[in-house]
A and B are shown apart, each in its own frame.
Chain A
Amino acid sequence: MISLAGRDILQAWGKFVFTGVGLGLLIGVTLSMAGIYRGMIDDAKVLLDNSSADLWVVQKDTLGPYAEPSSIYQDTWRGIRGMTGVARTANVTYLTMQVRQGERDVRAMIAGMAAGEPGTPGWPPYLVAGRQITRSHYEAVADIASGFKLGDRLQIRRNHYTVVGLTRRMVSSGGDPMIFIPLKDAQEAQFLKDNDAILQSRRRTEANPAFNKPGSPDLLDAVIHSQTTNTYVNAVLVQIEEGYSHDDVAESIRRWKQLTVYTRAQMEEILVGKLIATSAKQIGMFLVILSMVSAAIVAFIIYTLTLGKIREIAVLKLIGTRNRTIAGMILQQAIALGVIGFVVGKIVATLFMAPIFPKYVLLEPLDSIFGFIAVVLICVLSSVIAIYAALKVDPAEAIG
Chain B
Amino acid sequence: MKHLPLQGRTLALLAVIVPLLVLFIYVGLRSGPLAPVAVTVVTVESRALTPALFGIGTVEARYTYKIGPTFAGRVKRLEVHVGDQVKAGQVLGEMDPVDLDDKLRSHEAAFRRAQAALREADARQTYAQTQAGRYKKLFAAGSTSAETLYTKQQELTIAAAGFSAAQEDLARVRSDQDGLVTQQKNLRLIAPHAGVVASRDAELGTTVVAGQAVLEIIDPESLWVNVRFDQISASGLARELPAHIVLRSRGDQILNGRVLRVELKADAVTEEMLAKVVFDNIPQPLPPLGELAEVTVDLPALPAAPTISNAAIRRDGDSVGVWQIVDDELRLTPVTLGVSDLNGYVQVKKGIKEGDRIVLYSEKALTSSSRIDVVDHIPGVSR
Contacts and interface: CB of A to CB of B under 8 A. Distances in A.
B365 interface: yes
A127 B7 CA distance: 55
A231 B341 contact: no
B31 A363 contact: yes
Secondary structure of the B contact surface, majority rule: mixed
B362 A128 contact: yes
Nearest to A183: B230
Nearest to A214: B209
B209 A131 contact: no
A168 interface: yes
Interface in B33-64: 33-34, 54-56
B32 A365 contact: yes
B10 A10 contact: yes
Contacts of A135: 54, 342
A115 B32 contact: no
A168 B363 contact: yes
Interface string A106-136: 0000000001111110000111111110111
A350 B27 contact: yes
Given A134-B340, A347-B27, A13 B13 contact: yes
B33 A125 contact: no
State which size class the interface on A falls in.
35 or more
Given A128-B380, A137-B294, A165-B311, A115 B33 contact: no
A168 B380 contact: yes
Nearest to B268: A75
Given A17-B16, A117-B337, A168-B364, A52 B381 contact: no
Contact of A132 (B23, B311, B320): B311
Secondary structure of the A contact surface, majority rule: loop
Contacts of B10: 10
Contact of B33 (A9, A354, A364): A364
Interface in B89-116: none
A262 interface: no
B54 A125 contact: no
B33 A128 contact: no
Given A126-B366, A166-B381, A52 B344 contact: no
A48 interface: no
B369 interface: no
Contacts of B7: 10
A371 B310 CA distance: 43
Contacts of B17: 17, 340
A329 B196 CA distance: 102
A157 to B, nearest CB: 14
Contacts of A161: none
A289 interface: no
Contact of A347 (B24, B318, B363): B24
Interface in A325-344: 340, 343-344
Interface of B: 7, 9-10, 12-13, 16-17, 20-21, 23-24, 27-28, 31-34, 54-56, 207, 209, 212, 229-230, 232-233, 269-270, 294, 309-311, 313-315, 317-318, 320, 337, 340-344, 361-366, 377-378, 380-383
Interface of A: 9-10, 13, 17, 49, 52, 75, 87, 115-120, 125-132, 134-138, 144, 149, 164-166, 168-169, 184, 214-215, 217, 231, 241-242, 340, 343-344, 346-347, 350-351, 354, 362-365, 368
